[in-house]
Amino acid sequence: MNTQMLMTAISLLLVGIFSIATSSIAIECYDYKDTTKTIKEAKEGNYTFVIVNLVFAIIMVIVSFASAYFATQG
């Protein structure tokens, strides 16, 4: 078992989970409709960044599972 690769996989998993959580909270804040002009309309570039961050975080979690699998096979 490759310990260094396994620790990398665990680190990727933790960072990915925290990134998914923060991106989800940010998306909820952007969708909150309390004013006449929503934050999503006012800051379109930031909303796009949050969506891209969420996609990359999901990919990071998938890669961490693959990395953990290959670490335990060797």
Q: 45-58, pLDDT tens digit by residue?
A: 888 999 999 999 99
Torsion angle, CA of 57/62/67/70, rounded to 10 degrees? 180
- pLDDT confidence bin for 16, thresholds 50/70/90: very high
- Tally the domains of the chain: 1
Q: 27-39, pLDDT tens digit by residue?
A: 888 877 766 567 7
User: Which region, left, alpha or beta, applies to residue 14 given φ > 0 means left and ψ of -120 to 50 means alpha?
Assistant: alpha
Range of the domain at 22: 3-73
